[in-house]
Chain A
Amino acid sequence: MESSYLIEANNLAYKINEVRLFTNFSFNLKAGEALHIRGSNGSGKSTLIRILCGITPSSKGKVNKKDELVCSYLGHKNALKTYLSVRDNISLLGLSDHESLESLLSLLDLSEKLDVIVANLSFGQQKKVALLRIFLTGADLILLDEPFVGLDSNSHDLLCKFLEKKLHAGSGLIYTSHIPTGISSKDISLD
């Protein structure tokens, strides 16, 4: 793998129950680059992200990651404990004392919700809490599966700005979205 790449995929293929989702899929991503994975429902976008994360093994091909690469991932599940408060959910990742916590809580309109049980938040607010945890984690590579679903326009813009800032800072981004984002990215389609 070329040393400037954060992640490189070679001839990835995935087959489930004899159905081929994608074959010979290759790409590479350098620091500061974004990759937008497009495709219709059921084309394998989420599976591809899970393969890149290392959760699901591919049927064929290989994913090479830069040594010591720190990834953060947000999929369809928010990984939030619905019986705990927002504060407790943040502290589960050891992020309670993060220097940017207060400002991000205020930006995401969550300052008043810190002691609210997550189950009592709306879907969009839960998504914001999940994104907040992504924002606070200093990752080299951010993998997001439909991150804009359920967000209001302010939060949508805020997420775009945050991701662009992270790209300028040298992080990589791989995401799927049916909603236009405005983030300058390489595009690949699984259709």
Chain B
Amino acid sequence: MNILLLLKNEGLKLIKKTRAWLGPILIFILIMVAFPLTVELTSNNLSDAFYPVLFISILLVMMLATEGIFLEDYDDGTLELFLISKNSLSQWVFLKIFMHWLLIGVPISLLGAFFNLGANNDLSSSIMLFPALLIATYIFLILFCFGNSLSLTKGSALGTLITLPLTLPILVILGKLNTAIIFNINYFEFLILIFGVLSIIIFAFPAIISRIIKTHLE
């Protein structure tokens, strides 16, 4: 099965399950819209608190987006067929995560930059924030997929608990990036740092996840 067909299949499966991609996006919008309503309009702290809320809501939404990401294919026997067909399982995992990022991570990154414009009224910070959000959403997706693969037959809560500590360093870097954007210092250094993290796990984790899934199938 060629890469384009696999990508098309994953896209078709995700698009037809509206709840799987639209649900996380709507929850993200809900959090971002509800946040300013809970802070007094006269508060000067609204823009200060915006970035932490944005990053944490992205973390939570990515966790939701990956819930049961491999379970359906495991339960209905698709993974068994895939294994027999001698296609690369790690390639399939890579493409599945990529498609989830394309349909969930990219819109959320765009919305995040848009909400930043609303909260801070600053176009340049939104432009700086957008690539960071694109990278962060991909990293969170990969990490939560790893957790989901570990707890494939045991429910997603266990996998999330295992994975959550791995996301903390990324949140710390995002916090530093927040300061870098506000004061316009060392922005590219932090951006390169999270891009470096992504460039390592983007290929390493699909291989690890595929090995874990194979173990579950056995």
B81 touches A83 (CB 8 A): no
B75 touches A77 (CB 8 A): yes
Cα A55 to Cα B168 in complex, Å, equals: 36
Cα A50 to Cα B84 in complex, Å, equals: 10
Cβ distance B72 to chain A, nearest Cβ, rounded Å:
8
A80 touches B16 (CB 8 A): no
B45 at the interface (CB under 8 A from A): no
B176 at the interface (CB under 8 A from A): no
Please give, as numbers and ranges, the residues of chain B lying within 8 Å of A88 by CB-CB distance.
12, 16
Scan B1-25; emit 1 where CB is below 8 A from any A CB, else 0: 1000100010011001100000000
Could you jot down 5 A-B contacts, CB within 8 Å? A55-B80, A55-B84, A73-B81, A77-B75, A78-B76
B33 at the interface (CB under 8 A from A): no
Find residues 68-110 in chain A having any chain B CB closer than 8 Å to their own CB: 71-73, 75-84, 88, 91-94
A57 at the interface (CB under 8 A from B): yes
B217 at the interface (CB under 8 A from A): yes
- Other than the given A56-B218, A81-B16, 19 more pairs (CB < 8 A) read A53-B84, A54-B84, A55-B217, A56-B217, A57-B218, A73-B80, A73-B84, A75-B77, A77-B76, A78-B77, A79-B78, A79-B80, A81-B13, A82-B76, A83-B16, A83-B17, A84-B16, A92-B12, A92-B13
Find residues 58-76 in chain B having any chain A CB closer than 8 Å to their own CB: 72, 75-76
- 10 closest Cβ contacts across the A-B interface? A77-B77, A79-B77, A79-B81, A79-B78, A92-B9, A94-B5, A73-B84, A53-B84, A56-B218, A71-B84
Interface of A toward B, CB cutoff 8 Å: 50, 53-57, 71-73, 75-84, 88, 91-94
Please give, as numbers and ranges, the residues of chain A lying within 8 Å of B16 by CB-CB distance.
81, 83-84, 88
Cβ distance A76 to chain B, nearest Cβ, rounded Å:
8
Cβ distance B79 to chain A, nearest Cβ, rounded Å:
9
B76 touches A79 (CB 8 A): yes
> How many residues does chain B have at the interface if contact means C-beta atoms less than 8 Å apart?
18
B83 touches A55 (CB 8 A): yes
Please give, as numbers and ranges, the residues of chain A lying within 8 Å of B17 by CB-CB distance.
83
B84 touches A84 (CB 8 A): no
Cβ distance A182 to chain B, nearest Cβ, rounded Å:
27
Cα A84 to Cα B12 in complex, Å, equals: 9
Cβ distance A72 to chain B, nearest Cβ, rounded Å:
8
Cβ distance A48 to chain B, nearest Cβ, rounded Å:
14
Please give, as numbers and ranges, the residues of chain A lying within 8 Å of B5 by CB-CB distance.
94
Report which residue of B13, B17, B78, B81 has the largest number of chain A beta carbons within 10 angstroms of its beta carbon.
B81
Please give, as numbers and ranges, the residues of chain B lying within 8 Å of A71 by CB-CB distance.
84
A75 touches B80 (CB 8 A): yes
Please give, as numbers and ranges, the residues of chain B lying within 8 Å of A56 by CB-CB distance.
217-218
Cα A82 to Cα B76 in complex, Å, equals: 9
Report which residue of B1, B13, B77 has the largest number of chain A beta carbons within 10 angstroms of its beta carbon.
B77
Cα A57 to Cα B83 in complex, Å, equals: 13
Closest to A82 in B: B76
A80 touches B218 (CB 8 A): no
Cα A80 to Cα B80 in complex, Å, equals: 12
Please give, as numbers and ranges, the residues of chain B lying within 8 Å of A79 by CB-CB distance.
76-78, 80-81
With A84-B13, A92-B12 as contacts: A55 and B218 at CB distance below 8 Å? yes
Please give, as numbers and ranges, the residues of chain B lying within 8 Å of A55 by CB-CB distance.
80, 83-84, 217-218
Cα A78 to Cα B217 in complex, Å, equals: 16
Cα A92 to Cα B5 in complex, Å, equals: 8
